[in-house]
Amino acid sequence: MTVANTEIRVQLRKAVESDCEAIYQWRNHEKTRQFIFDSTIISFDAHAQWFTKTLKNPQRVLLIGEVNHLPIGVLRFDFNEQKQAIVSIYLVPGEEGKGHGSELLKSGNHWLASAHPEITEVIAQILPENTASLKAFEKAGYKEFSREYHYSLHLADEPTRGAFYESE
């Protein structure tokens, strides 16, 4: 992966145990859940268990983006055996529409190139109606690669959103 050496506006740090509560609030916020693959409300206990496991998981990294030392969003990378990182992003509610999304993604790719040089590609799965996300990823240099269509055999059900990978 080639990462352009532009000025970094969003600083990243790894999430730590004391971020558990704040991340729970951001992840469960209505604005965040609207477009993420698993849009259900998570209980605090389930989140806390997931959070502790995540911090210990060598195949996953959770990063907090900060501007002027204040948190603006969360990035997650899940590594697979094909040397790819699956990226997930959401902003701290209230921080949307300021350009933070694309800057957070760019910082994430810089961080990956330096902390995980073995990773060759970053992949995002974005719902087609999530215009802000599509634009943010494009501004950060991502290119559309394929479109996946789902058909539900149970006609009363919506096609499933969470089929690709564990999203929380």
Judged by the rule CB under 6 A, the positions of this chain that interact with ligand COA are: 31-32, 35-36, 89-91, 96-102, 124, 126, 130-133, 135-136, 139
Q: Which residue is nearest to ligand COA (CB)?
A: 101
- Smallest distance, ligand COA to C-beta of residue 134, A: 8
Task: CB nearer to ligand COA: give 52 or 162.
Answer: 162
Residue labelled with tokens 């989140």: 47
If the CB atoms of residues 110 and 139 are measured against ligand COA, the closer one turns out to be: 139
Q: Which is nearer to ligand COA, 15 or 89 (CB)?
A: 89
Distance between CA atoms of residues 108 and 117, nearest Å: 13
Nearer to ligand COA, 118 or 146 (CB): 146
For 77, residues 6+ apart whose C-beta sits below 8 A from its C-beta are 60, 61, 63, 85, 86, 87, 108, 112, 116, 122
Least separation in angstroms between residue 5's CB and ligand COA is: 20
9 close to 59: Cβ distance less than 8 angstroms = no
Q: How far, in whole angstroms, is CA 140 from its chain's centroid?
A: 13
Minimum distance from residue 120 beta carbon to ligand COA (Å): 21
For residue 64, the tally of other CB atoms under 10 A from its CB is: 22
Closer CB to ligand COA, 99 or 162, in the complex = 99
CB of 133 to ligand COA, least distance (A): 4
Q: How far is the CB of 161 from ligand COA (least distance, A)?
A: 11
Q: Which of 72, 73, 29, 27 is nearest to 48 (CA)?
A: 27
Q: Six-digit token pair at 138? A: 């494009």
Q: At what angle do helices 100-115 and 131-139 cross, to 10 degrees?
A: 50
